[in-house]
Structure 1
Amino acid sequence: MKVSGFLKLYQQDGLIQTIAAAIKANEPATVQLKGVTGSQDAVIAAAIYQLNRQNHLFVLHDKEEAAYFHNDLQSLLYPKEILFFPTSYKRPYEFDTTENANVLQRAEVLNRINHKAATGELIVTYPEALTEKVINKKTLQENTFSLQIGQQISLEAIVAMLAGFDFERQDFVYEAGQYAVRGGIVDVFSYAHDLPYRLELFGDEIDSIRTFDPNTQVSVAEVKRINLIPNVQTHLTDSQRQSLLAFLPRNTKLWFKDWQLTLDTLDQAFARAAEQFDKLTNLTDAAVALQPDELFENGASFAKAAAPFCRIEFGQRFSTDNTREFVLRTAAQPSFHKDFNLLVDNLQENARQGITNIIVAENPGQLDRL
């Protein structure tokens, strides 16, 4: 059985179809999924996505759990790319501690949302990443530079645009925010993609665009159109910020492992940001940074931004009343302690109860051993 066949079992299940229908409308509502165990949350989410093909934002307890959930979704829905939305700063108002790889991932998510996919996007995140507000959609659109094959544009115009976006000219590009020029070839590492682009010009016309591996310089794939955006965390610091939720299409479904934990974490992070802001303002009389409420979310502002969306709670703690509940009759896999006799006994007992046994493994070798 392939992954697609496994997911189809869930898509054909009456309860899963009922849940999918309950959250399909783009209206404010809260749904609770109870009795979900193990990695079944990712399976249910994948099956519902296959049924509805809408946008989904998943908020897990923390970064580690979000990474595992992201990996599960990616395995279930490959080749669909699952987006990960991390935090960009280690500490509020300490912009020199920005993690470039995380800034790249955040920018890529915003770019993908801004250029809506017909099949919807799936974004995995965690409360700390939601504390930082994002650049507003209008400003991002104004600072997005699109290029495509066949476009008439000079090499000088491309270089001027990159310089205006504060891209650094290098001999070779190896991280986001850099570009290199060799004859009629421009290599540029945008903040909107995890691989750099190689543009080849024939005169004043773009002849080809390819992604390439910055370590080997080998081409990866040809693309017809690209979007170049600057570092939205540093290049556009004076621009108005907004909640990530305000950036999302209205048909996005918000999934929370723990709604109250998310709000509490946002309040705690906002308090730390306000404390750090006070320390900065005590050091100088000048306006050194935007106010905390202009850069960061708190629980109340996030709850207000989430109000127009459909919300799904799927963890073990539920904090919302007057919701529609769905109870799944599931149990965690028993621990067999590498005892194959216990495994066989369990599989036979399942068969006697009319339960279909499906054994899932990370690689074919594990299945061969079984």
Structure 2
Amino acid sequence: MSNQENLIKAFQEDPRLQSLVAGWQEKTGAVHTLTGLVGSMESMILAASYLQNPRTFLVVAEDKEAAAYLQNDLSGLLQPKIIRFFPDSFKRPMQFEALNQNNVLLRTETVNRISLAGEEGEIIIAYPEALFEQVVSPEELEANRLFVKVGEDLDVDTVISLLGEFGFRQEEFVYEPGQFAIRGGIIDIFSYGNEYPYRIELFDEEVESIRHFDPMNQLSVREIRQVSIVPNINSRFNREQKLPLFDILPEGSVVWIRDYQWTIDKLQECFEKAESFADKLSKSEEEDLAELFRDRAFIRPGAVLESLE
């Protein structure tokens, strides 16, 4: 057993951690306050408590940088467990002028993973600006997918029409989420819910093969049997189809907030800035951006407590 494993085991055997985990198992919605955490102690407690009683954890750090550090710590402590990073949709937090499509991809993928999580759950690291934007409910996402499977027929015209409805743009080559390209019997699609784009090869109308490929060098990453294409969550869905991230967490999930009042204050700041930006948004702005702010699909600070109850 490594030194790291011994250390985690020592935390697991600590009566205070055992009491904390026992409180989660009672499903009473109890609130616990932890003080005096220094250095990597928080990461050790999170890792030890997850291993003691696996379930979905949502951890809210104070900002994007702190969230990234925490993700890195937990990835090292819990490998090979994948620690999900849940960012805001923009190139910089609270700078609403430009969307970051890779961030949109990560948000969509996280919602996907939450909806598919088994008994071991998912560990999601977020920060206030990321929580501010509501997410598509898993049910809506499930109802708006394009499934493609090797050996089944696929009509190219139908694919073009459906991808257009999903908010995808046809390009000569794909290099970011939300794009697709068609060359003869080859369809490249960069979905909003996956790290790599898909290359679908057709023989007449039958799907002959499906591969992930690297858009930088066009080389195949791996071959797969089926794919699920999900739409642009910002433009495809309206406010009525979106929920706070808290509301899609499985029953019994643990929400770990480093500084509750700081989180509420940042959400209030986000709300005020978003309202001001939305009022100034011109019709000439990027379509995805305009759709997002037109619906005002944001969480109000007071709704956080309601979601956690």
Tell me which moved more, 175-184 or 187-196.
175-184
User: Residues 253-281 of structure 1, C-alpha deviation per residue, up to 9 Å, x if partnerless?
Assistant: 10010011111111222122233344569
Displacement of 1:13 in angstroms is 4.1
8 Å CA contact 1:62–1:126 kept in 2: the answer is: yes
Aligned residues, how many?
300
Identity %: 37
User: Residues 114-149 of structure 1, C-alpha deviation per residue, up to 9 Å, x if partnerless?
Assistant: 223342111101011111122334332222223334
Q: What residue number does 1:233 align with? A: 234
8 Å CA contact 2:93–2:129 kept in 1: the answer is: no
8 Å CA contact 1:83–1:122 kept in 2: the answer is: yes
Tell me: CA distance 1:266–1:209, structure 2 relative to 1, closer, same or farther (3 Å): same
8 Å CA contact 1:86–1:125 kept in 2: the answer is: yes
Q: What residue number does 1:266 align with? A: 267
Tell me the TM-score normalised to structure 1 length.
Answer: 0.72
Which structure has the higher relative contact order (CA within 8 Å, separation 6+)? 1
Q: What residue number does 1:166 align with? A: 167
Tell me: CA distance 1:291–1:208, structure 2 relative to 1, closer, same or farther (3 Å): closer
User: Residues 187-229 of structure 1, C-alpha deviation per residue, up to 9 Å, x if partnerless?
Assistant: 2111001211222334444343322211122222333443211
Tell me: CA distance 1:29–1:279, structure 2 relative to 1, closer, same or farther (3 Å): same
Aligned residue runs from structure 1 range 201-220, under 5 A: 201-220=202-221
User: Residues 289-347 of structure 1, C-alpha deviation per residue, up to 9 Å, x if partnerless?
Assistant: 7889942222211111111xxxxxxxxxxxxxxxxxxxxxxxxxxxxxxxxxxxxxxxx
Q: Give the distance between the partners of 2:280 and 2:158, measured in 1 at CA.
A: 43
Q: Give the distance between the partners of 2:217 and 2:301, measured in 1 at CA.
A: 45
Displacement of 1:24 in angstroms is 2.6
Tell me which moved more, 224-233 or 253-262.
224-233
Displacement of 1:238 in angstroms is 5.9
Q: In structure 2, give the amino acid aligned to 1:245.
A: F
Point out where structure 2 has 5 or more consecutive residues left out of the alignment.
283-289
Tell me: CA distance 1:154–1:275, structure 2 relative to 1, closer, same or farther (3 Å): closer
Q: What residue number does 1:82 align with? A: 83
2:12 is equivalent to residue 11 of structure 1: yes
Displacement of 1:106 in angstroms is 1.1
Q: What residue number does 2:191 align with? A: 190
Q: In structure 2, give the amino acid aligned to 1:120.
A: G
Q: Give the distance between the partners of 1:230 and 1:293, measured in 2 at CA.
A: 17
Aligned residue runs from structure 1 range 284-295, under 5 A: 294-295=296-297
Q: Give the distance between the partners of 1:212 and 1:163, measured in 2 at CA.
A: 22
Q: Give the distance between the partners of 1:79 and 1:203, measured in 2 at CA.
A: 41
Q: In structure 2, give the amino acid aligned to 1:49.
A: Y
Tell me: CA distance 1:292–1:261, structure 2 relative to 1, closer, same or farther (3 Å): farther
Q: In structure 1, give the amino acid aligned to 2:299.
A: E
Q: In structure 1, give the amino acid aligned to 2:301.
A: G
Displacement of 1:38 in angstroms is 0.8
Tell me which moved more, 71-80 or 267-276.
267-276
- Structure 2 counterpart of 1:297, from 293, 299, 304: 299
Point out where structure 1 has 5 or more consecutive residues left out of the alignment.
282-287, 308-370
Q: Give the distance between the partners of 2:271 and 2:13, measured in 1 at CA.
A: 44
2:104 is equivalent to residue 103 of structure 1: yes
Q: What residue number does 2:180 align with? A: 179
2:86 is equivalent to residue 71 of structure 1: no
Tell me: CA distance 1:3–1:274, structure 2 relative to 1, closer, same or farther (3 Å): same
Q: Which has the larger radius of gyration?
A: 1
Tell me which moved more, 165-174 or 290-299.
290-299
Tell me the TM-score normalised to structure 2 length.
Answer: 0.85
Q: What residue number does 1:34 align with? A: 35
Tell me which moved more, 13-22 or 115-124.
13-22
8 Å CA contact 2:56–2:122 kept in 1: the answer is: yes
8 Å CA contact 2:64–2:126 kept in 1: the answer is: yes
Tell me: CA distance 1:176–1:277, structure 2 relative to 1, closer, same or farther (3 Å): closer
8 Å CA contact 1:139–1:239 kept in 2: the answer is: no
Aligned residue runs from structure 1 range 20-169, under 5 A: 20-89=21-90, 97-169=98-170
